[in-house]
Amino acid sequence: MFSESAHLYDAIYRAFKDYAVEATTISNVVRAVHPSPKTILDVGCGTGEHALHLRKSHGFAVDGLDLDPGLLAVAREKMPDARFFEGDMAAFDVGHRYDVVMCLFSSIGYLQTIERVTAALRCFRSHVAEDGVIVVEPWFAPGVLRDGPGATRCAEAGGVRVERASHTTVAGRLSTLIFDYRFETTSGVQVAREVHALGLFTQEEMMASFQEAGLAATYDSAGLTGRGLYVARIAS
Protein backbone atom coordinates (compact mmCIF):
# COMPACT_ATOMS: atom_id res chain seq x y z
CA MET A 1 0.00 0.00 0.00
CA PHE A 2 2.04 3.00 1.23
CA SER A 3 5.22 0.95 1.16
CA GLU A 4 7.25 3.72 -0.50
CA SER A 5 5.95 6.68 1.46
CA ALA A 6 4.98 5.66 5.01
CA HIS A 7 7.79 7.72 6.53
CA LEU A 8 6.52 10.84 4.72
CA TYR A 9 2.79 10.11 4.82
CA ASP A 10 2.05 12.66 7.56
CA ALA A 11 4.08 15.40 5.87
CA ILE A 12 2.18 14.89 2.60
CA TYR A 13 -1.32 14.77 4.05
CA ARG A 14 -0.96 17.40 6.77
CA ALA A 15 -0.28 19.89 3.98
CA PHE A 16 -3.95 19.78 2.93
CA LYS A 17 -5.89 17.62 5.41
CA ASP A 18 -7.05 19.09 8.74
CA TYR A 19 -7.04 16.11 11.09
CA ALA A 20 -7.86 18.27 14.14
CA VAL A 21 -11.06 19.59 12.60
CA GLU A 22 -12.06 16.12 11.39
CA ALA A 23 -11.46 14.66 14.86
CA THR A 24 -13.71 17.34 16.37
CA THR A 25 -16.43 16.51 13.84
CA ILE A 26 -16.17 12.80 14.62
CA SER A 27 -16.37 13.50 18.35
CA ASN A 28 -19.48 15.62 17.84
CA VAL A 29 -21.12 13.05 15.55
CA VAL A 30 -20.50 10.21 17.98
CA ARG A 31 -21.59 12.11 21.08
CA ALA A 32 -24.80 13.19 19.35
CA VAL A 33 -25.97 9.56 19.25
CA HIS A 34 -24.14 8.00 22.22
CA PRO A 35 -24.44 9.38 25.78
CA SER A 36 -20.90 8.72 27.00
CA PRO A 37 -18.50 7.09 24.52
CA LYS A 38 -15.02 6.44 25.88
CA THR A 39 -13.28 3.91 23.62
CA ILE A 40 -12.65 3.86 19.87
CA LEU A 41 -11.23 1.29 17.47
CA ASP A 42 -9.86 3.11 14.42
CA VAL A 43 -9.92 0.60 11.54
CA GLY A 44 -7.60 1.55 8.69
CA CYS A 45 -5.89 3.87 11.17
CA GLY A 46 -2.83 4.57 9.01
CA THR A 47 -0.28 6.61 10.95
CA GLY A 48 -2.78 7.23 13.75
CA GLU A 49 -3.26 10.95 13.17
CA HIS A 50 -7.03 10.89 13.78
CA ALA A 51 -6.43 8.69 16.81
CA LEU A 52 -3.86 11.14 18.18
CA HIS A 53 -6.25 14.09 18.02
CA LEU A 54 -9.17 12.09 19.42
CA ARG A 55 -6.99 11.03 22.36
CA LYS A 56 -5.31 14.36 23.10
CA SER A 57 -8.15 16.79 22.40
CA HIS A 58 -11.31 14.79 23.05
CA GLY A 59 -10.43 12.32 25.80
CA PHE A 60 -11.03 9.05 23.96
CA ALA A 61 -9.00 5.90 24.50
CA VAL A 62 -8.20 4.89 20.91
CA ASP A 63 -6.75 1.68 19.53
CA GLY A 64 -5.96 1.17 15.84
CA LEU A 65 -5.89 -1.54 13.19
CA ASP A 66 -4.25 -1.41 9.79
CA LEU A 67 -2.87 -3.77 7.15
CA ASP A 68 0.22 -1.65 6.40
CA PRO A 69 3.15 -2.35 8.78
CA GLY A 70 4.98 0.81 7.71
CA LEU A 71 2.08 3.06 8.66
CA LEU A 72 1.60 1.17 11.93
CA ALA A 73 5.26 1.71 12.81
CA VAL A 74 4.70 5.47 12.55
CA ALA A 75 1.53 5.24 14.66
CA ARG A 76 3.26 3.21 17.38
CA GLU A 77 6.12 5.70 17.57
CA LYS A 78 3.60 8.53 17.81
CA MET A 79 1.51 6.86 20.53
CA PRO A 80 3.55 4.18 22.33
CA ASP A 81 0.87 3.74 25.01
CA ALA A 82 -1.87 2.85 22.50
CA ARG A 83 -2.55 -0.59 21.04
CA PHE A 84 -2.13 -0.96 17.29
CA PHE A 85 -3.02 -4.22 15.58
CA GLU A 86 -1.92 -5.41 12.15
CA GLY A 87 -4.77 -7.07 10.29
CA ASP A 88 -7.24 -7.21 7.42
CA MET A 89 -10.31 -5.07 8.15
CA ALA A 90 -12.52 -7.74 6.56
CA ALA A 91 -11.21 -10.53 8.83
CA PHE A 92 -9.94 -9.52 12.25
CA ASP A 93 -10.57 -10.21 15.92
CA VAL A 94 -8.84 -8.13 18.58
CA GLY A 95 -10.85 -9.66 21.41
CA HIS A 96 -12.46 -6.45 22.65
CA ARG A 97 -15.58 -4.34 22.08
CA TYR A 98 -15.51 -0.56 21.75
CA ASP A 99 -18.01 2.25 22.13
CA VAL A 100 -17.05 3.40 18.64
CA VAL A 101 -15.65 1.59 15.62
CA MET A 102 -14.64 3.99 12.89
CA CYS A 103 -13.13 3.65 9.43
CA LEU A 104 -12.13 6.99 7.91
CA PHE A 105 -10.38 8.55 4.92
CA SER A 106 -12.10 6.15 2.50
CA SER A 107 -10.09 3.17 3.73
CA ILE A 108 -13.18 1.02 3.15
CA GLY A 109 -12.62 1.41 -0.61
CA TYR A 110 -9.48 -0.73 -0.44
CA LEU A 111 -11.72 -3.76 0.07
CA GLN A 112 -12.62 -3.42 -3.64
CA THR A 113 -15.79 -5.57 -3.61
CA ILE A 114 -19.10 -5.08 -1.83
CA GLU A 115 -18.85 -8.63 -0.49
CA ARG A 116 -15.65 -7.72 1.37
CA VAL A 117 -17.26 -4.49 2.56
CA THR A 118 -20.06 -6.56 4.11
CA ALA A 119 -17.48 -8.87 5.72
CA ALA A 120 -15.73 -5.83 7.19
CA LEU A 121 -18.99 -4.39 8.51
CA ARG A 122 -19.71 -7.73 10.21
CA CYS A 123 -16.29 -7.46 11.89
CA PHE A 124 -17.09 -3.91 12.95
CA ARG A 125 -20.41 -5.13 14.40
CA SER A 126 -18.68 -7.86 16.40
CA HIS A 127 -16.28 -5.29 17.88
CA VAL A 128 -18.77 -2.56 18.81
CA ALA A 129 -20.63 -2.45 22.12
CA GLU A 130 -24.37 -3.13 22.03
CA ASP A 131 -25.12 0.58 22.38
CA GLY A 132 -22.10 1.62 20.32
CA VAL A 133 -21.63 3.56 17.11
CA ILE A 134 -19.99 2.66 13.80
CA VAL A 135 -18.72 5.49 11.58
CA VAL A 136 -17.55 4.88 8.00
CA GLU A 137 -16.25 7.46 5.53
CA PRO A 138 -16.73 5.98 2.02
CA TRP A 139 -14.74 6.30 -1.16
CA PHE A 140 -16.41 7.81 -4.22
CA ALA A 141 -19.48 6.33 -5.89
CA PRO A 142 -19.40 5.17 -9.52
CA GLY A 143 -19.50 7.99 -12.05
CA VAL A 144 -17.69 10.59 -9.92
CA LEU A 145 -14.03 9.96 -10.74
CA ARG A 146 -12.60 10.44 -14.21
CA ASP A 147 -9.45 9.18 -15.88
CA GLY A 148 -6.59 11.63 -15.82
CA PRO A 149 -3.95 13.38 -13.74
CA GLY A 150 -4.68 14.55 -10.23
CA ALA A 151 -3.06 16.96 -7.82
CA THR A 152 0.68 17.08 -7.28
CA ARG A 153 1.61 17.27 -3.60
CA CYS A 154 4.90 18.54 -2.18
CA ALA A 155 6.18 18.21 1.37
CA GLU A 156 9.38 18.12 3.38
CA ALA A 157 10.30 16.23 6.56
CA GLY A 158 13.46 14.87 8.14
CA GLY A 159 15.71 16.36 5.49
CA VAL A 160 13.73 14.76 2.65
CA ARG A 161 11.76 16.72 0.10
CA VAL A 162 9.06 14.74 -1.66
CA GLU A 163 6.94 15.49 -4.70
CA ARG A 164 4.01 13.18 -5.40
CA ALA A 165 2.20 13.22 -8.74
CA SER A 166 -1.04 11.27 -9.07
CA HIS A 167 -3.01 9.76 -11.93
CA THR A 168 -6.40 8.06 -11.80
CA THR A 169 -7.90 5.41 -14.06
CA VAL A 170 -11.39 3.95 -13.76
CA ALA A 171 -12.41 0.55 -15.11
CA GLY A 172 -15.91 -0.58 -14.23
CA ARG A 173 -16.25 -0.58 -10.46
CA LEU A 174 -12.55 -0.20 -9.72
CA SER A 175 -10.56 3.01 -9.49
CA THR A 176 -6.77 2.87 -9.63
CA LEU A 177 -4.62 5.65 -8.23
CA ILE A 178 -1.00 5.73 -9.32
CA PHE A 179 1.32 7.79 -7.12
CA ASP A 180 4.72 8.67 -8.59
CA TYR A 181 7.22 9.95 -6.03
CA ARG A 182 10.38 11.98 -6.38
CA PHE A 183 12.47 12.03 -3.21
CA GLU A 184 15.28 14.57 -2.86
CA THR A 185 17.90 14.18 -0.14
CA THR A 186 21.48 15.28 0.37
CA SER A 187 22.46 11.94 -1.16
CA GLY A 188 20.61 12.57 -4.40
CA VAL A 189 17.25 11.86 -6.03
CA GLN A 190 15.19 8.67 -5.91
CA VAL A 191 11.90 7.84 -7.58
CA ALA A 192 9.23 5.31 -6.64
CA ARG A 193 5.69 4.32 -7.56
CA GLU A 194 2.68 3.07 -5.58
CA VAL A 195 -0.53 1.66 -7.03
CA HIS A 196 -3.74 1.92 -4.99
CA ALA A 197 -6.92 0.17 -6.16
CA LEU A 198 -10.24 1.12 -4.55
CA GLY A 199 -13.74 -0.15 -5.25
CA LEU A 200 -16.59 2.17 -6.26
CA PHE A 201 -19.90 1.58 -4.47
CA THR A 202 -23.26 3.34 -4.68
CA GLN A 203 -25.01 4.69 -1.61
CA GLU A 204 -27.71 2.05 -2.14
CA GLU A 205 -25.13 -0.73 -2.18
CA MET A 206 -23.49 0.57 0.97
CA MET A 207 -26.80 0.88 2.82
CA ALA A 208 -27.72 -2.67 1.80
CA SER A 209 -24.32 -3.86 2.99
CA PHE A 210 -24.89 -2.30 6.42
CA GLN A 211 -28.28 -3.97 6.60
CA GLU A 212 -26.84 -7.35 5.62
CA ALA A 213 -24.26 -6.98 8.39
CA GLY A 214 -27.01 -6.44 10.97
CA LEU A 215 -26.60 -2.66 11.21
CA ALA A 216 -28.99 0.26 10.82
CA ALA A 217 -27.23 3.17 9.11
CA THR A 218 -27.88 6.79 8.24
CA TYR A 219 -26.00 8.74 5.58
CA ASP A 220 -24.73 12.32 5.56
CA SER A 221 -23.78 13.37 2.02
CA ALA A 222 -21.27 16.02 3.16
CA GLY A 223 -19.39 14.07 5.78
CA LEU A 224 -15.87 15.13 6.74
CA THR A 225 -14.46 15.97 3.32
CA GLY A 226 -17.36 15.88 0.87
CA ARG A 227 -17.20 12.11 0.41
CA GLY A 228 -20.11 11.37 2.74
CA LEU A 229 -20.33 9.66 6.11
CA TYR A 230 -22.28 6.62 7.36
CA VAL A 231 -23.26 6.40 11.03
CA ALA A 232 -24.63 3.04 12.15
CA ARG A 233 -25.89 1.21 15.22
CA ILE A 234 -26.63 -2.46 15.80
CA ALA A 235 -30.07 -3.12 14.34
CA SER A 236 -32.82 -3.92 16.81
Does one domain contain both 47 and 100? yes
**pLDDT of the chain, 236 residues: tens digit per residue:** 798 899 999 999 999 999 999 999 999 999 999 989 999 999 999 999 999 999 999 999 999 999 999 999 999 999 999 999 999 999 999 999 999 999 999 999 999 999 999 999 999 999 999 999 999 999 999 999 999 999 999 999 989 999 999 999 999 999 999 999 999 999 999 999 999 999 999 999 999 999 999 999 999 999 999 999 999 999 98
Domain coverage including residue 131:
6-141+201-234
Question: Cα 75–194–206 angle (5° rounding)?
Answer: 75
Q: Is 63 in a helix, a strand, or coil? A: strand
Does one domain contain both 114 and 159? no
Residue 17 lies in a domain: yes
Does one domain contain both 51 and 101? yes
Does one domain contain both 77 and 55? yes
Does one domain contain both 192 and 132? no
Phi-psi bin for 23: left (phi > 0), alpha (psi -120 to 50), beta? alpha
CATH of the domain at 19: 3.40.50.150
Does one domain contain both 11 and 113? yes
Residue 1 lies in a domain: no
Does one domain contain both 192 and 152? yes
Compute the distance between CA of residue 223 and CA of residue 136 in angstroms, rounded to an integer: 10
Residue 98 lies in a domain: yes
Residue 207 lies in a domain: yes
CATH of the domain at 185: 2.20.130.10
